[in-house]
Amino acid sequence: MPRHADPDLEPRLLEAARKLWHAGGDEALSMRALARAAKTNTPAIYRRFRDRTDILRALMLHFRNQWVEAIRSAGSLEDSVEAYIDNGLTHPREYALYFTEPTLRPAESRTVEIGPGFVWAQAKCAERFGGSPEDYVQLVLALWALAHGTVTFLNTKVLPPQRAAELRAACRDAVAVLLRNAEQGRKQI
């Protein structure tokens, strides 16, 4: 009797891979550990994914989609920066993977300007301040640099723990200044 493909196997593999990566990073995600966690065998994994790199690429895409959804669901640009930071702090291993392994990122995400979160932020700026999304490349880069720097500092534990709240507050204040300046600049035109 021929074996029937398990339609739930790929989502189960990705969920197991996500949990393994989140819990232990690179060391935790082996094909054997993944097969065990997903209650299958390694040949079944290779029928769905060419190699470990494909699994990592799928994890990155999942993380990126989750991250972009968190940003887009924020009520304002200010809230989107907070959502970006929160997501990066909640998923530090995924965040580090995304920014340290650029060759694994989907092709359309390898250029910041065309990433979905970047495009969304440009459109929100144009909606809020007027003009076209292309007018806001520098502003969105500045917002992203603030958020990324905050996540990186907090995830790497470079700062003493008592400074974490101060860093978040400083980031919020800097975002407010940048957005206020953008609004005043558009009013003068």
Convert the pLDDT of each residue in 127-140 to its tens digit. Answer: 999 999 999 999 99
DSSP state letter for 150: H
Q: Residue 104, Cα to own-chain centre: how many angstroms?
A: 13
What pTM, to 2 d.p., does this model score?
0.83
pLDDT score of 3: 60
pLDDT score of 30: 92
Residue range 44-61, pLDDT digits in tens:
999 999 998 899 988 888
pLDDT score of 64: 86
Residue range 138-167, pLDDT digits in tens:
999 999 999 999 999 999 998 898 899 999
Q: At what angle do helices 77-90 and 164-188 cross, to 10 degrees?
A: 150
Q: What is the dihedral of CA 24, 101, 89, 140, to 10 degrees?
A: -170
Instruction: State the number of CA atoms in the 13 A half-sphere of 123 facing the CB.
Output: 9
CA 8, CA 11: separation in Å to the nearest integer?
6
pLDDT score of 189: 43
Residue range 161-185, pLDDT digits in tens:
889 999 999 999 999 999 999 998 8
Residue range 58-111, pLDDT digits in tens:
888 888 888 899 999 998 999 999 999 999 999 999 888 888 776 666 565 555
